[in-house]
Structure 1
Amino acid sequence: MDASNPTGTEPGLPGLSDGDRAAADWQLAVAGFGEEGQRRLKGASVLVSRIGGLGGMVAFHLAAAGIGRLVLAHGGDIRPGDLNRQLLMTHDRIGTPRMDSAVERLKALNPRLEIVAERANVSDANAARLVAQADLVVDCAPLFAERYALNRAAMAARKPMVEAAVFDLEFHLTTFVPGETGCLRCLYPETNPAWTRRFPVLGAVPGVAGSLAAL
């Protein structure tokens, strides 16, 4: 063992407070994760594009797990039709910004969490700036214009991107790692003209997909 690092953990990782340890008690016991894994999580920053039914579940699980910082991007106000799947939104907040409700719920879950809130959807205008603030990108946008913009920025910054999508009773998950895999445009060279903003989805499907994407 290195005498200068008697714990054997990676130097430079943030320490855990008593509150951190209490909140993470059950997952600290997971083999291969432990305190170093928790410290890595606390020191990490993740960008989640859209925090509706899919991205909201990703953000929820990362916040509960003890992620240090979330960079969230989502515009618009809460509508009644959101509530079958967007679990960070509530009926009493209909008509108010989605981001405000999401930040409030996530901070209530984990008051130690740092949140960077972008009250707009990802576009070519903001993608590079948002990606620069994160170690990992999770794409949960419903439209390909947003997905392509985020993918370009992630590839340019050499940041890995988890791609998550839902439709009807189906979901799709994949990960793009610059220098090791192809990219989103490689997988989907063209936008499917049948894909529109409004599509069928059972509320629990993005919950399942978002939980897996958070892993």
Structure 2
Amino acid sequence: MELTPTEIERYQRQIMLPGLGEEGQKKLKSTTALVTGVGGLGGTVALYLAVAGIGKLILVRGGNLRLDDMNRQILMTDDWVGKPRVLKAKETLSKINPDVQIEAIPEYVTPDNVDILVRGADIAIDCAFNFEERDLLNEACVRWDKPMVEAAMNEMEAYLTTIIPGKTPCLSCIFPEKPEWDRWGFGVLGAVSGTLATLAALEVIKVITGLGQPLYGKLLTMELGSLHFAKHRPYHDPNCPICSKITQQKINQTLNLVNTKTNLSISV
């Protein structure tokens, strides 16, 4: 997918980055990203993907904007309180970068829509407010072999990882027992959700373009009150009810490929 003269001018400063260049920019343009939970976290992720030149955004979030969302949801305006927030997110992002295609779906992630959503995207960013939606997205991404950037926060703490089906631990491996999580039960500072969101957007860009080193098989934890960052290697459960089957399939495919090459070498 070629870049227009306008796009080359718009993105010229990031095209200058070693490891990205025009080829990386073309990869961004040809990518469709699914963002769930378009709030203080997901909305900011969508913003930075839009200004970076992602080709298409699919924004998924049910419910209307509340006044107590306004301390962190930077795509919103005060006059939109009481209306579907995902529609305002589309409007704002379209004004910021009209070259990005944006589809706004004012629904929550459910068993009925998750497969259609994931199949229509190249990568998913999980910013949902509960583990029910997060688990649904994780299962669908594993099922359809789509990468997923997982980001979540609680008060001043946050975590981030990238899930590649069959290669890294999935969300079920990392959290086999789901923590209690009340979306209105903890405080939220906009700068905290924004910090995590920018890192998540950067992770998406790295996965798409090959820039830098994504968090494959690593969990980044952050305690932003003290600015303590740490990387962990979460357990990749060989018996995970969600991802173990696809992991074994990829191992078998690799072994078959190695055996085929070995047999060819012997024959020669």
Is TM > 0.5 for Structure 1 vs Structure 2? Answer: yes
Q: CA deviation at 1:174?
A: 0.7
One-letter code aligned to 2:182: T
Question: CA separation in 1, counterparts of 2:42 and 2:67?
Answer: 18
SS for the counterpart of 1:70 is strand
Q: Is the 8 A contact 2:153 2:193 kept in 1?
A: yes
* Structure 1 residues 30-53: Cα deviation after superposition (integer angstroms, max 9, x where no partner): 111110010010001111011100
**Partner residue, 2:156:** 169
Query: Structure 2 CA distance, aligned partners of 1:179 and 1:185?
Result: 13
Structure 1 residue 190, shift from structure 2 partner: 2.1
Q: Of residues 110, 115, 120 in structure 2, which corresponds to 1:133?
A: 120
In the alignment, which residue of structure 2 is the partner of 1:4? none
What is the CA-CA distance between 1:116 and the residue it aligns to?
1.8
Q: What residue ranges of structure 1 are gaps of 5+ in the alignment?
A: 1-13
Q: Which residue of 2 aligns with 1:16?
A: 3
The one of 83, 89, 111 equivalent to 2:98 is 111
Following superposition, the deviation at residue 117 of structure 1 comes to 1.6
Instruction: State the partner residue of 2:262.
Output: none
Q: Distance in 1 between matches of 2:148 and 2:70?
A: 27
Identity, in percent, stands at 47
Equivalence for 1:196: 182
Q: Which amino acid aligns with 1:24?
A: Y
Structure 2 Cα separation of the partners of residues 156 and 82 of structure 1: 33
Deviation at 1:22? 1.3
Q: What do residues 187-210 of structure 1 show as CA deviations (whole Å, max 9, x unaligned)? A: 1112223x1121212111010100
1:35 aligns with 2:41: no
Aligned counterparts, 1:54-93, within 5 A: 54-93=41-80
Match for 1:32: what amino acid? Answer: G
Aligned equivalents of 2:142, 2:105: Cα separation in 1 = 21
- Which SS does the other structure have where 1:204 is aligned? helix
CA contact (8 A) 2:90 2:103 kept: no
Tell me how far apart the structure 2 counterparts of residues 149 and 204 of structure 1 sit (CA, whole Å).
Answer: 28
Letter in 1 for 2:183: R
1:110: how far off?
0.8
- Specify the SS of the correspondent of 1:53: coil
| 2:40 pairs with 1:53 | yes
Q: Which moved more, 1:34-43 or 1:183-192?
A: 183-192
Q: Does 2:174 correspond to 1:187?
A: yes
